[in-house]
């Protein structure tokens, strides 16, 4: 089923090797599909996969992501300009200029905004095989008439133990793309720092999941207790930019946005 | 000279105490950290999954996997703890954050706050993010905002007109002119005037009714005599 394709000629092919080139890994993604992406305001984005998507002819996609990304024309945000996204399901459209324009000019459908905790739990429900969740946040506020005119039906509520909740269906995707630090050839993923996010849940909520990482290591190099997303939830592993390149990409963008001082020439 | 925003941030900082878990929203609230002493022992939380993060690093120490909720570089000093997104938002919903300081488009006498949506091209923009979870679950919500908008209209309203972020959740309102407590059951109480502000100024630029602390009345009289 899984086309094994070791990238290092020195290592013998592992029977369960999930490492493959980008184009092979993303071949199952077709126009019109639901695509879920790991990120948080642009942090933890799968850089190589987003670049590949931008170069592809894939369109009519439903993008499920926490936010549209980071302002200043950074990576995923450009998908809102390229005409490839039909609908966006997330918490916010204002984090990038591209998503704001696409939303206000009616180029991308946004039926409603979710509180971030609600969005995260909807994804988690999809990951864990649940039909949905009960959420108290926003009851009496987000169900006000006229707030979200593109919603086909009113938001459903349920009373339980004296409290009113929204009934929020699970979110799932045809294809999920997550970003990790290291992967072994079985697809076991190790995350770094705050980029853990809900990448594991996103992996589990996709029918088919691609993991992009900075570094691919041999099986056994990631201690089992450091595996943040078991390879069982991953169908394909792709080599992304190195960690050093990733740091440089973000540092330069932070300087551009005035969030970091440029290094002095003396260094 | 202190900017209006820094004056608001500095006053908010006085409300924070050692050991509290604090989430600072974007804008004016972010400035609050600049007005705390390094030994303030406040535990800062960021939505994307961290307790106890530290200040911004320099260029060569900026790590693209160590970021805050606005995707700015942070540091993770000793004692910091990471968690996944669902845990972080669960902590917000379930009352594990003691204090949140949020910017606001409007606040009102009932402790309502509106900060996620304005009307643009016939639609509500820009979106909710983590603010609604914070308003729902945090025992102490402090609204930090300028007293009037860019057109000079009061932002401390009798009732909010914009879509709410939280209902009846605001405990304290801090502006460049005034500090109001939101009383249990509703109603504003002018606890403090900011340095240089007068009661008259506050009355003229506040839509909501409010009662005034004796100390403010006394101090204001003195100030008017000077």
Domains and CATH numbers, chain B: 4-225 (3.40.1080.10)
Verify that A163 and A187 share a domain, yes or no. Answer: no
Q: Is the dihedral of CA B96, B98, B104, B106 positive or negative?
A: positive
| CATH number of the structural domain spanning residue A40 | 3.40.1080.10
Verify that A105 and A199 share a domain, yes or no. Answer: yes
Separation in Å, CA of B115 to nearest CA in chain A: 13
Cα A59 to Cα A76, A107, A111, B221: the distances in Å are 14, 13, 19, 68
Copy the structure tokens of residue A29: 């993604």
Q: Do B136 and B175 form a contact (C-beta atoms < 8 A)?
A: no
Verify that A155 and A51 share a domain, yes or no. Answer: no
Verify that A34 and A163 share a domain, yes or no. Answer: no
Verify that A139 and A235 share a domain, yes or no. Answer: no
Domain assignment of residue A102, yes or no: yes
Q: Do A89 and A135 form a contact (C-beta atoms < 8 A)?
A: no
Count of CB atoms situated within 10 Å of the CB of B48: 32
Residue range(s) defining the domain that contains residue A154: 132-169
Check pLDDT > 80 for residue A128.
Answer: yes
Between chains, do B123 and A262 touch, taking CB under 8 Å as contact?
no
User: Is A93 an 8 Å CB contact of chain B?
Assistant: yes
Residues 206-245 on A with a CB inside 8 Å of B are none
Separation in Å, CA of A1 to nearest CA in chain B: 32
Beta bridge partners of A132: A169
Closest A-chain CA to B92? A117
d(CA A199, CA A216): 17
Verify that A247 and A204 share a domain, yes or no. Answer: yes
User: Is B52 an 8 Å CB contact of chain A?
Assistant: no
Verify that A65 and A164 share a domain, yes or no. Answer: no
Q: Do B157 and B30 form a contact (C-beta atoms < 8 A)?
A: no
User: Is A95 an 8 Å CB contact of chain B?
Assistant: yes
Residues 76-105 on B with a CB inside 8 Å of A are 76, 82-86, 89-90, 92-93
Return the axis-axis angle of helices B85-93 and A116-128, rounded to nearest 10°: 130
Of residues A104, A117, A141, nearest to B164 (C-beta): A141
pLDDT, tens digit only, all 226 positions of chain B: 579 999 999 999 999 999 999 999 998 999 999 999 988 999 999 999 999 999 999 999 999 999 999 999 999 999 999 999 999 999 999 999 999 999 999 999 999 999 999 999 999 999 999 999 999 999 999 999 999 999 999 999 999 999 999 999 999 999 999 999 999 999 999 999 999 999 999 999 999 999 999 999 998 655 444 4
Within 8 A by CB and 6+ apart from A110, the residues are: A87, A88, A89, A90, A93, A103, A150
Verify that A64 and A107 share a domain, yes or no. Answer: yes
| pLDDT tens digit sequence for A65-100 | 999 999 999 999 999 999 999 999 999 999 999 999
Q: Do B91 and B97 form a contact (C-beta atoms < 8 A)?
A: yes
Verify that A117 and A141 share a domain, yes or no. Answer: no
User: Is A96 an 8 Å CB contact of chain B?
Assistant: no
**β-pairing, A34-37 with B178-182?**
unpaired
Verify that A140 and A237 share a domain, yes or no. Answer: no
């Amino acid at each position: 089923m899984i086309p094994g394709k070791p990238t290092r000629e020195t290592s013998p092919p592992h029977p369960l090797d999930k490492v493959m080139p980008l184009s092979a890994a993303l071949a199952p993604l077709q126009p019109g599909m639901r695509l879920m992406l790991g990120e948080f305001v642009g942090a933890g984005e799968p850089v190589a996969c987003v670049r590949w998507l931008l170069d592809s002819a894939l369109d009519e996609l439903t993008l499920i992501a926490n936010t549209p990304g980071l302002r200043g024309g950074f990576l995923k945000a450009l998908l809102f300009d390229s005409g490839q996204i039909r609908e966006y399901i997330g918490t916010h459209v204002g984090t990038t200029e591209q998503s704001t324009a696409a939303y206000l000019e009616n180029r991308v459908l946004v039926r409603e905004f979710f509180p971030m905790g609600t969005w995260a739990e909807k994804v988690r429900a999809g990951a864990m095989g649940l039909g949905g969740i009960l959420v108290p946040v926003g009851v009496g506020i987000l169900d006000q008439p006229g707030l979200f005119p593109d919603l086909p039906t009113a938001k459903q509520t349920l009373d339980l133990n004296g409290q009113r909740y929204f009934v929020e269906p699970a979110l799932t995707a045809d294809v999920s793309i997550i970003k990790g630090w290291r992967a072994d050839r079985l697809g076991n993923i190790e995350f770094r720092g705050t980029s853990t996010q809900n990448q594991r849940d996103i992996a589990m909520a996709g029918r088919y999941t691609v993991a992009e990482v900075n570094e691919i290591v041999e099986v056994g190099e990631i201690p089992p207790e450091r595996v943040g997303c078991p390879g069982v939830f991953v169908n394909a592993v792709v080599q992304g930019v190195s960690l050093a390149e990733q740091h440089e990409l973000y540092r330069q963008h932070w300087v551009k946005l005035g969030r970091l001082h440029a290094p002095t020439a003396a260094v | 000279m202190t900017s209006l925003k820094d004056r608001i941030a500095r006053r908010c900082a006085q409300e924070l105490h050692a050991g509290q878990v604090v989430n600072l929203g974007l804008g004016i609230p972010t400035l609050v950290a600049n007005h705390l002493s390094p030994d303030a022992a406040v535990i800062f939380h960021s939505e994307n999954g961290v307790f106890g993060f530290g200040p911004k690093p320099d260029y060569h120490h900026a790590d693209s996997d160590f970021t805050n909720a606005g995707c700015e570089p942070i540091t993770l000093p000793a004692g910091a703890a990471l968690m996944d997104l669902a845990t972080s938002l669960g902590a917000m919903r379930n009352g594990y954050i003691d204090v949140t300081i949020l910017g606001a488009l409007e606040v009102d006498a009932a402790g309502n706050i509106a900060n996620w949506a304005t009307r643009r091209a016939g639609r509500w923009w820009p979106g909710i993010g983590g603010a609604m979870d914070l308003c729902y679950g945090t025992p102490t919500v402090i609204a930090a905002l300028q007293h009037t908008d860019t057109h000079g209209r009061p932002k401390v309203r009798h009732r909010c007109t914009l879509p709410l972020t939280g209902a009846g959740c605001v405990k304290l309102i801090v502006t460049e002119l005034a500090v109001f407590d939101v009383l249990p059951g509703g109603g504003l109480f002018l606890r403090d005037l900011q340095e240089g502000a007068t009661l008259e100024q506050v009355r003229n630029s506040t839509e909501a009714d409010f009662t005034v602390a004796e100390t403010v009345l006394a101090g204001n009289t003195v100030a008017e005599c000077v």
